[in-house]
Amino acid sequence: MIRSQKVNDWKYVGSTNDLERRMKEHNDGKVFSTKNYGPFSLIYYEAYLSENDAREREKQLKYFGNAYKFLIRRIKGSLTV
């Protein structure tokens, strides 16, 4: 999960096989869905052995509100830094 340093309380969930490259793309404005909200800070990530498992988790966080709310509640202390 990344958080905008420009727009208050704006967060984005995605998946990638190369976190450093993807963060650079987001911060360079190369990602359509985030280009107007950068720069970004990485606030949370999960690692999976299977790409399928990672995509399933991304889907849970994006489309099932309870999964997202639970995650936000769990990492809330980290979000105030």
pTM of the model: 0.87
Rounded mean pLDDT, 11-36: 96
* Per-residue confidence (pLDDT) for residue 70, from 0 to 100: 94
CA distance 58 to 60: 5
How many distinct structural domains can be found in the chain? Answer: 1
9 pLDDT more than 90: no
Mean pLDDT of all residues belonging to the chain: 93
Confidence of residue 78 (pLDDT cuts 50, 70, 90): confident
| Domain that residue 59 falls in | 2-79
Confidence of residue 81 (pLDDT cuts 50, 70, 90): low
* Per-residue confidence (pLDDT) for residue 5, from 0 to 100: 94
Rounded mean pLDDT, 6-14: 93
Q: How far apart are the first and last CA of the chain?
A: 15
Side by side, the strands of the sheet bearing 2-4 are 11-12, 2-4, 40-42
Q: At residue 79, what is the residue type?
A: L
